[in-house]
């Protein structure tokens, strides 16, 4: 028998993706299915949109409050993502979650992903792609939330981010949600089995096992030395 002791510190997972790729849906299903998984809630200075929930989607604060927190070194990373709006990952909460053994998902953009990867090289970077830009168009229309200028901006950002996929470890196309979730879960399981995630491996004492094996009757009777 052999057993393994994994590192107790949780794993950090970044999920980025093109606009309307369905990151949110995938993340919600991952959280539902995996009790040890937690989502880091970012802070933002962008205005709340219909359907946004305080403390669930983001912590919504003013630009002034955000800049105050920057000065206080409150964020692990932050970026101006769209229309000069700030988005940032709170450092202390994330550190506490990881230290308590929880795996944590950050849903952040490409530039944030690079900053975090530099600080925590073992971070797993996953990029979610919509099955086609045609499908993205359909999903944006279905949401019906934004004006033309904002839609154009989303498209530009999407194309720019797709060019950065090579900075990620994994890419998952979200055509059928259940399949995409399965793929992300498989990635997370595989990552848990990486040798560098293992702190110790336990196997029984080699001499004892060998001795028992060599003393066994069947073994003695059946052995034929190779050089005869
Ligand atoms: P929205 O919520 O306005 O649709 O999209 C916000 C964008 O900002 C997404 O691309 C999302 O990944 C990114 N984002 C959200 N939170 C953070 C964060 O804490 N840091 C960074 N760098 N990007 C973030």
Residue 158 or 72, more confident: 72
Q: Has residue 216 got a pLDDT over 80?
A: no
Exposure string of 107-140, with b = 16+ CB inside 10 Å and e = fewer, is: bbbbbbbbbbbeeeeebbbbbbbbeeeeebeeeb
| CA 228 to ligand 1 center in whole angstroms | 72
Ligand 1 mutation pick, 87, 106, 136, 161, max ligand atoms within 8 A of CB: 87
Please tell me the pTM assigned to this model.
0.88
| CA 207 to ligand 1 center in whole angstroms | 56
Q: Can you give the pLDDT at residue 153? A: 82
Read off the pLDDT band of 145 (50, 70, 90). Answer: low
Distance, CA of 94 to CA of 76 (rounded, Å): 9
Q: Can you give the pLDDT at residue 221? A: 47
Index of the ligand 1 atom closest to the CA of residue 23:
12
Residue pLDDT, tens place only, 18-35? 888 999 999 999 999 999
Distance, CA of 177 to CA of 33 (rounded, Å): 14
Q: Can you give the pLDDT at residue 209? A: 81
**Section 72-96 average pLDDT:** 93
Nearest CA to ligand 1 atom 10: 109
Q: Can you give the pLDDT at residue 226? A: 54
Minimum mean pLDDT range among 63-67, 175-179, 201-205: 201-205
């Amino acid at each position: 028998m052999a057993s393994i002791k994994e590192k107790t510190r949780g794993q950090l997972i970044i999920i980025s993706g093109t606009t309307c790729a369905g990151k949110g849906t995938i993340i919600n299903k991952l959280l539902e299915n995996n009790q040890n998984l937690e989502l880091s809630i970012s802070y933002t200075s962008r205005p709340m949109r219909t359907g946004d929930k305080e403390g669930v989607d983001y912590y919504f604060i003013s630009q002034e409050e955000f800049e105050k927190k920057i000065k206080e070194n409150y964020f692990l990373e932050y970026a101006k993502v769209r229309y000069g709006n700030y988005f940032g990952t709170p450092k202390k909460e994330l550190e506490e979650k990881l230290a308590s053994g929880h795996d944590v998902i950050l849903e952040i953009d490409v530039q944030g992903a690079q900053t975090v990867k530099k600080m925590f090289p073992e971070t797993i970077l996953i990029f979610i792609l919509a099955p086609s830009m045609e499908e993205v168009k359909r999903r944006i229309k279905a949401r019906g939330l934004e004006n033309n200028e904002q839609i154009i901006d989303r498209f530009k950002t999407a194309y720019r981010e797709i060019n950065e996929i090579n900075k990620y470890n994994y890419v998952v196309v979200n055509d059928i949600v259940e399949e995409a979730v399965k793929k992300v879960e498989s990635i997370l399981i595989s990552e848990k089995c990486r040798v560098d995630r293992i702190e110790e491996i336990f196997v029984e004492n080699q001499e004892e096992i060998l001795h028992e094996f060599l003393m066994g009757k069947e073994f003695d009777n059946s052995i034929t030395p190779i050089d005869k």
